[in-house]
Amino acid sequence: MSKIQILRQARILMIVGGVWKIPFSKNPNIYTLYKIYAYVIQLFYVLVACCMFIEFFYLLNSEDVKKLTDNLKITISCSLVAVKALIFQAGAFPKLVKNMIAEEKNILESSNDEIKTLYWKFVSYINKCATGILVVAGVTAVLLVIAGSVIGLMNKSETKPMLFLAHFPFDQQKHYKASMIIQMISVVIATTYFCMSQIFYLCILTFVKAKLKILQVHLKHFKNESGISNVKKINNFIKLHQNIISFVGDLNKSIKYLLLIEFLLSSVNIASVTYQLISASTIADLLFSFTYLMLLIGQLFILAWHANEIKVESIAVSDAIYQSHWYETDINTQKLIFMIILRSHRPLLLTIGPFKPLTTHTVISVMNAAYSFIMVMTSSN
């Protein structure tokens, strides 16, 4: 655990969620048991998510907007984190994680103290953000339990309250304890997956930013030496730059369609939670809806802000090399430097599907769409 710094908290959550694909124990029996645990926990969660979707289609036939939005606000988030958990185990993600671990080891073993100090600042930033996400998500989950069960039981109504609306293959009122146990476990898993996905995204995007910053440090401190030494150094910088470009390209291929789905559904999800906030009947409902809304908006800003930071820092590579003593070098070295400057003027981007790049303006578009959905919901009611 201690050997992995920037992914430390994400790795713990991924192991708990049964999503971590890299062997963490030399004992084959332990890892075999972990695989069984991972299969069981993910199957359980997917089945519960399917039950929530079935209930959604039942509610579509009713005219109860309150119940429909009550189902939607949980179903969309739970389904998205389930898809993320599956994607994190397939495709290029395991390879990206291995690359991150290997490159982090090289950085921390470097003799350059400035680079190590810079990297540790990013690790500290990740730890603070991860702690914030865990606290807010944990508080939101506790408020869901209070609003969904404790307050409902105090009202002494004939229908016993549930944490969320799902269509289980048995009478939930008759088998209330079993229903609540299933729902409680589901809330814990969903909270784990939500925190895992947000922190994992944050780790990857911050790691890319850290790599770009480290490249900028190398370029700023580039000094003129003999011709052969200059060319060799610049070639190493070009390889480092190409490595970052390749990493971002693989990352974008892995998540661009997931980002498309997430941003399309986020507007509906935010609208549903806002409607619940407006129509909240208890303080617990109000607090849960408010913290949940902040969590949903926050996750969009986390993605968009850090994706935009990668764009900014990739362009800043040309500024960094311009601050070096490039003008003192020979013509061959200057040509190589010019190639780096030209490439850095084409920014590194994460895209929403095959469409536009992910920036902070994307979040504003989602909020505008959410506002339109809220108007439709309130007018329908």
Q: The dihedral of CA 139, 141, 147, 153: what is its sign?
A: negative
Q: Give residue 93's pLDDT band: very low, low, confident or very high (50, 70, 90).
A: confident
Look up the pTM and report it.
Answer: 0.88
pLDDT of residue 2: 46
Q: How far apart are CA 41 and CA 61, in angstroms?
A: 32
Output the six-digit token pair for 211. Answer: 């790599």
Q: What is the pLDDT of residue 1?
A: 39
d(CA 81, CA 90): 15
Q: How confident is the model at residue 368 (pLDDT cuts 50, 70, 90)?
A: confident
Residue 381, token pair as written in the block: 């009611």
pLDDT at 121: 94
- Model confidence over 219-261: pLDDT tens digits? 888 876 555 588 888 888 899 999 999 999 998 988 888 888 8
Residue 324 neighbours by CB distance under 10 Å: 17
Give me the phi and psi of 185, to 5 degrees please: -60, -40
Lowest pLDDT segment from 98-102, 203-207, 274-278, 377-381:
377-381
Between the CA of residue 211 and those of 26, 46, 290, 301, what are the distances in Å?
A: 30, 36, 36, 22
Q: How far is CA 374 from CA 65, 98, 361, in A?
A: 11, 43, 20
Q: What would the two tokens of residue 253 be?
A: 């291929």
Using CA of residue 52, residue 56, residue 62, residue 64, what is the dihedral sign?
positive
pLDDT beyond 70 at 156 = no
